[in-house]
Amino acid sequence: MAKHVCPYWVGYLLSNRLRKLLQGPSRVLGPYVKPDVAVLDVGSAMGFFSIPMARMVGPGGKVVCVDLQPKMLDVLARRAAKAGVSDRIETHVCSSASLCLDGREASFDFALAFAVLHEVPDQARCLGELHRLLKPGATLLLAEPKSRVTTAEFEQTVACAREMGFAVSKRPYIRSARAVLLTTAMT
Ligand SMILES: C[S@@+](CC[C@H](N)C(=O)[O-])C[C@H]1O[C@@H](n2cnc3c(N)ncnc32)[C@H](O)[C@@H]1O
């Protein structure tokens, strides 16, 4: 079933000052994103989290940003150049049915899916893809806005993630969001 997709212009609003106070990228992601790791940002939009993650991984790391909307990724690429982190950011346009990252299985240490799963028509398929793209023992931070996703809907997503092979490791507190930290098995 087709889902509402955040319009392109909303991408500009996602980087506002209030959000930086509520969901500051260093506070939200600092515990998980370390130097030299490979990170996947699904539904990255214009890079509210991707650009800070590119700073966190440093010159030896990589942040792969995937989004449905090429215009979001164009702005992200310009912002990355301005921030001096283009060398470690890759952008990929995907389809609503697939992340289109064939050949990159088991290559990411950490993935972020922030405020995107509720826009994805087939969550099971997307979570299955994410599971395959992550290395053994890797982590996915899944967060959804409280304003759009009820507790029951979020728990359905978490149950679906479990069915796809993820284990729940933690329920981190993120203001205005429902969040879960998921891990893949070590082997
Ligand atoms: C509400 S925005 C959140 C952006 C960003 N993660 C953040 O928190 O600032 C959702 C983004 O997910 C993208 N999106 C929607 N469906 C998608 C899908 N099936 N695969 C990848 N990206 C998708 C939209 O184009 C939009 O840029």
Q: 130: CA distance to ligand 1 center in Å?
A: 15
Q: By percentage, how much of the chain surpasses pLDDT 70?
A: 99
Q: By percentage, how much of the chain surpasses pLDDT 90?
A: 89
CATH class of 10-183: alpha beta
Q: Which atom of ligand 1 is nearest to the CA of 14?
A: 9
User: pTM of the predicted model, to two decimals?
Assistant: 0.97
Ligand 1: which residue has its CA nearest to atom 5? Answer: 44
pLDDT value of position 158: 98
For β-strands 177-183 and 134-145, DSSP reports them as: antiparallel
For 179, residues 6+ apart whose C-beta sits below 8 A from its C-beta are 141, 142, 143, 144, 171, 172, 173
pLDDT value of position 1: 52
List the beta bridge partners of residue 42: 66, 113
For 95, residues 6+ apart whose C-beta sits below 8 A from its C-beta are 68
22 ligand 1 Cβ < 6 A: no
